[in-house]
Amino acid sequence: MNLCGKKLRTRANAKYDPPGLHHCFREAGHDGACAEFPYLDHLKEVAPRVAAKIVRDATKTTGASWKSEDAGPNRISRWTMLLSDADLAKLGVNMKALKPWVIAKLREKAASYDDCMSAAQYLTWSVYGMTGAPAPDDATRAFITSRFGEVVPGATGCLVCRAPLHFALFEEARRGKAEIETAHAMPRSHTAGNVGFAHRNCNIAQGDKSLDQFYEWIAGILTRAGRI
Site track 119-158 with its own copies (rule: CB under 8 A), x = hit: --------------------------------------x-
Span near its own copies by CB under 8 A; candidates 14-22, 130-138, 145-153, 202-210? 202-210
Q: Does residue 222 bind its own copies (CB under 8 A)? A: yes
The single residue among 69, 92, 138, 224 that binds its own copies, judged by CB under 8 A, is 224
Span near its own copies by CB under 8 A; candidates 9-17, 30-38, 188-196, 216-224? 216-224
Q: Does residue 188 bind its own copies (CB under 8 A)? A: no
Q: Does residue 174 bind its own copies (CB under 8 A)? A: yes
What lies within 8 Å, CB to CB, of 85 at 6+ separation is: 95, 96
What lies within 8 Å, CB to CB, of 121 at 6+ separation is: 25, 39, 143, 144, 147, 148, 192
Q: How many residues make contact with its own copies (CB under 8 A)?
A: 24
Give the integer Cα–Cα distance in Å for 144 and 137: 11
Q: Does residue 72 bind its own copies (CB under 8 A)? A: no
| Residue from 14, 16, 25 nearest 6 by CA | 25
**Which residues make up the interface to its own copies (CB under 8 A)?**
101, 157, 160-163, 174-175, 201-202, 204-205, 207, 215, 217-222, 224-225, 227-228
